[in-house]
Amino acid sequence: MTARTRWLFNSRSEIVEQMLSGYAQAHSDVIALSAGLVVRATPKPQGLVGIVVGNGSGHEPAMIGWVGHGLLDVNVPGAIFSSPGPARIVAGIKEADRGAGVLLLVSSHAGDIMNASLARDEALSQGLAVEMVVLYDDVASAPREHEEDRRGGAGLFFVWKIVGAAAESGASLGECAEIARKVRRRTRSIAGAIGTVTHPVSGQPLGQMNDSQLAVGMGVHGEPGTLLGEEITADAVAELMVSRLVEDVEAQAGSRVALMVNNSGSLTIMELSILFRGAANTLSDRGIEVARSWMGNYATTLDQAGFAFAICLLDPELEALYDAPAYGAAFIRVGLST
């Protein structure tokens, strides 16, 4: 396995713009482009809270696939692995404003927080009603006693789905912000990867190129993890990683959780399914029920051979919001599962 150095694009300087154009064309019933912003093809009604996320590109279908009914209203995409600037985020806030205020959800990375904070302050100075919630869930990036220093990871999706449903149902801006914080408190994630990937613009690898060992605790931008032995099995990996999430969030026997196994880019469905099996068995062995589940490509790091586990500790309120209908280019939920 070696990092890929040949891609199918036309110009290094136009990768993001052309990607957005093609994705919007392919999903024109759900999303549209508005001055470089990804917006709903049909805006939500007036009087409802708008939800905005800004992020670096290179993680598709995040976040462009999560704009739609019951999900986000506007995604402000930046360059590859680079947060969009404050002015563009302010434009996104204005685009999402339907008269009930806007919730800005920010993944905990230094550039994202800085630019979003500046954008929030500017929007407030212009008389807009805006709240900002910083999201973090990656247990490998900081100890529990400093969880506010943790990175945002695959657990972001639980917040977007659940808060998106709350906003769609008419919850106030303050209520939506509190639900986001509640889901954040109950969500944990951890990632792993084999080898690294090459940045398609710079041509430089994001990390150390080791094509035979699994690194646990990898970040979404290639931040390094801890190398494990070459012979470790998928079940052992799942037991190690999911047990860490369970202990960190203090899930007990009898708990109900939502479980996500996310593909970072190039793992096969075969591998992902075996990892899901191991994660579900680990939870079951502890008396924890997998009440809701996702498996697939949600947040990628280009074509990295990696994955992430995320769990969210559910309660009746969160389950009801989780089960609410949603329709985005990368996620469709038609209603309650039995």
Buried-exposed string 170-202: b where 16+ CB fall within 10 A, e elsewhere: ebebebbbbbbebbbebbbbbbbbbbbbbbbee
Q: Is 221 a catalytic residue?
A: yes
Residues 307 and 5: beta-carbon distance below 8 Å: no
User: Chain centroid to CA 203: how far?
Assistant: 25
From 27, 59, 69, 109, the catalytic residue: 59
Return the pLDDT at 220.
Answer: 64
Its pTM stands at: 0.93
Intra-chain end-to-end CA distance of the chain, in Å: 42
Is 14-185 a domain of CATH 3.40.50.2020?
Answer: no
137-164 pLDDT, tens digit each: 999 999 999 999 999 999 999 999 999 9
* Domain layout of the chain by residue ranges: 14-185, 187-314
CATH number of 187-314: 3.30.1180.20
Q: Is 27 a catalytic residue?
A: no
**Distance (Å, whole) CA 254 – CA 256:** 7
Residues of the chain with pLDDT under 50: 338
Return the pLDDT at 338.
Answer: 44
**Distance (Å, whole) CA 162 – CA 147:** 21
**Distance (Å, whole) CA 191 – CA 308:** 4
Return the pLDDT at 224.
Answer: 58
